[in-house]
Structure 1
């Protein structure tokens, strides 16, 4: 559970680092967006690296990666809808089903 919790928190930072500048820094020079994103990503890595180190051994490398992808989509969808104002479409559901299949196969 510690690995999963840390990965969730790191994904929140990662999602903001990768995408929030599209809303907040749209009118700024792209180098400013890079600097801000790197600053946010620094905190993401402070959480993500320990999460993977704690989880590796309990989970295989492939399981850690698939878990990361599921968490990424679970964080990204609310971010896209609530923060970025994206319309929720059926494609999010189908992507979730694909990831559920990946989880099934990698953890069996």
Structure 2
């Protein structure tokens, strides 16, 4: 589904924009980090806006789009946490993901 693919790609860019500097970029001046992050986030917006328009035009509600985006964001962040930042995933991460999946299920129930 194009909406999910675009939301996944947009989340890859946004997670990078928000967290790239935590690994090896902490010595950079904050204004520089903000400027670089804004440049990365531009690509996120170029993907998220069409994803939401496509999803909405396909009959998804704004609430469904938001909850799906949050679930994707948690998946992407989990991968980034392990692969880039080198932090372990714990049972709390799994619990948070399960709660978000429950929210997705509630919003799509009966559709």
TM-score (normalizing by structure 1): 0.96
Structure 1: gaps of 5 or more residues:
none
Question: 2:98 and 2:79 mapped to 1: Cα distance?
Answer: 17
Instruction: Show structure 2 runs of 5+ residues with no match.
Output: none
- Aligned twin of 2:30: 30
5 Å-filtered alignment, 1:27-66, equals: 27-57=27-57, 58-66=59-67
Q: Secondary structure at the match of 1:24?
A: coil
* Superposition RMSD in Å: 0.8
Number of equivalences: 108
- What's 1:17 paired with? 17
Where does residue 68 of structure 1 map in the other structure? Answer: 69
Shift of 1:24: 3.3
Moved over 4 A (4+): none
Which residue is 1:93 aligned to? 94
Q: Kindly provide the CA deviation profile for residues 23-51 of structure 1, in whole angstroms up to 9, marking residues without a partner as x.
A: 13210110010000000000111111111
**Whole-Å Cα distance in 1 between the matches of residues 105 and 53 of structure 2?**
23
- The two structures have a TM-score, normalised by structure 2, of 0.94
C-alpha distance in structure 2 between counterparts of 1:49 and 1:21, whole Å: 25
| Residues 36-85 of structure 1: CA deviation (Å, up to 9, x unaligned) | 00000001111111111111132001000000001001111010011111
Paired with 2:33 and 2:40, the residues of 1 have a C-alpha distance of: 11
The whole-number CA distance in structure 1 between the counterparts of 2:102 and 2:83 is 26
